[in-house]
Chains A and B, each alone.
Chain A
């Protein structure tokens, strides 16, 4: 539910800031309790920093070829050098630098697709849920139909015909994935619309865009955030797969999926070419998934209660065990 509206702007601001800071503190405390979630958040922060500052962190230009140092192994091998810590590929490009720069593409595509698909899906869902009637029927039919499309095949064909690039990848993936947001938003809007405060706003004479964006949308943030993060993980994997198939990011740009595809041919003599970008994808997606599952947990009070009960019961079992052992000791000795 939304907080009660306050009269003055200052009051509202002060109150908002207070609540905002409060919830950040609360989140921090929750994070401390959930180790996997904490690890996920730390990993994602590192990845984002890595992507943003890639040119300053990476020891080499990711596209710089050095044919004299082709297929150099990582540093812990005899032939490895500190210059190319994780080795080089078949063109002598530094694997570590490519992995660092690859984070840029993955995260950028992920963020762009989630924003585009999420934005479009939410707008469609809001319209369907709020306007109802024919609009609703039309949008829902559309969603139903598109969900039943062989999405990846269509995406491949469109990419092949239009020509793959960063932009087309984003557009195609967004076109393919907006339906989830639409469905979720619509069902949430339908339930929120029934609530008294929206009815009150309608009676007062608010026009529908205002009701939608000021009254209904704020209630959707938490479920949408969780969904967006989960979708983000999915998109990172999808981009990697597209690039791997040669229909995503094109050289000379770097992408983890692309690197795996190129390293595939040298897999048997230079395992690091496939392993390192692959691990980078896996770690990124795992971190996102950890955060998503933590978020889902803390946004569900029932789940939190159960979690706690399990924790306590386990502690109790341990205590009982200890007591039993204590009781038994005199008998045995």
Chain B
């Protein structure tokens, strides 16, 4: 167990290191940060002062060491765009993205599990075919377009929900729905296929032979065995959303989360904020990955953590 945690932490560190190095290389070596960040008409003196402020006048290896040091202290410096510590902005925006993710994926789970089970009970039946086709459709519709469609229908035509922004609880409905639908589609397919597999297992026959009620056999015995792949996918969806896939939804609905901030930072070429965001995203991914391993162990006692 201790060895397992140790190994996962090491791997997590490698991931975070790799990501930050890539960001460092891409931003310092490919482009000239000063040219990118300062307006065209700035004087050479201004440029030099700016370079000095960012430490860009020193050789690259030293810059890199300093960058690593900053990372370890969780201090990337002030955002060029908002003129305040980049991590402060990240910590302000991250909860919004987490909220959106939890609501969106939570909604997907709540709907997908019963739907998938019902479809799996009668494969090839009416419910099953409608579900499968519906999820194929859900997988095929681009998320940004779905968001726009929702805005037109619910916010403009019926005027029952706000178009964009955050604030009241009703603001989260459309973004969360948009966020959740593709997840719902993927999840329904997976719940369905793993439940079909599990219901054909011998232990299901045993459970029926024991006289257990149908709901208990399907909803407890089979579902818990199907839980591993389902949890894997849910974990993946959370990771994806925190690792940047929320960008699309947040842009469409102007949801003030980390994704929108990232795209704004990219547009404004705020390298410091970008670094802080990517670093945070990498940390989120690593943390969730480790958490998922423990959840697996809880679901399936046969797994050995190595």
Contact = CB atoms under 8 A, between A and B. Distances in A.
A162 to B, nearest CB: 6
B124 interface: yes
24 contacts: A36-B133, A148-B282, A150-B242, A150-B278, A150-B282, A152-B243, A152-B247, A154-B278, A156-B266, A157-B26, A157-B27, A241-B143, A245-B251, A247-B266, A260-B144, A260-B148, A267-B152, A278-B145, A278-B148, A282-B141, A282-B145, A286-B140, A293-B136, A310-B124
Contact of A289 (B136, B248, B274): B136
Name the 7 nearest CB pairs between A and B, nearest first: A310-B124, A150-B243, A153-B244, A278-B145, A152-B244, A286-B140, A285-B140
Contacts of A152: 240, 243-245, 247
Given A150-B285, A157-B274, A281-B145, 7 more contacts: A157-B27, A161-B26, A161-B31, A268-B152, A282-B145, A306-B123, A311-B124
A259 to B, nearest CB: 10
Given A241-B144, A268-B152, A274-B148, A154 B23 contact: yes
Given A150-B282, A306-B123, A310-B123, A264 B139 contact: no
B15 interface: yes
Given A144-B11, A286-B137, A311-B124, A151 B27 contact: no
Contacts of A146: 18
Contacts of B282: 148-150
Contacts of B89: none
Contacts of A154: 19, 22-23, 244, 278
B30 interface: yes
A20 interface: no
Interface in B248-279: 248, 251, 262-263, 266-267, 269, 274, 277-278
Contacts, number: 142
A129 interface: no
- Between B14, B144, B149, the greatest number of chain A beta carbons within 10 A of the residue's beta carbon is seen for B144
A145 B18 contact: yes
Contacts of B38: none
A238 to B, nearest CB: 10
Interface residues of A, number: 47
Interface of A: 36, 144-146, 148-154, 156-158, 160-162, 233, 237, 240-241, 244-245, 247, 257, 260-261, 264, 267-268, 271, 274, 278, 281-286, 289-290, 293, 306-307, 310-311, 314
B248 A244 contact: yes
Contacts of A36: 133
B26 A148 contact: no
B152 A153 contact: no
Nearest to A237: B142
A313 B139 CA distance: 30
Contact of A153 (B124, B137, B145, B278): B278
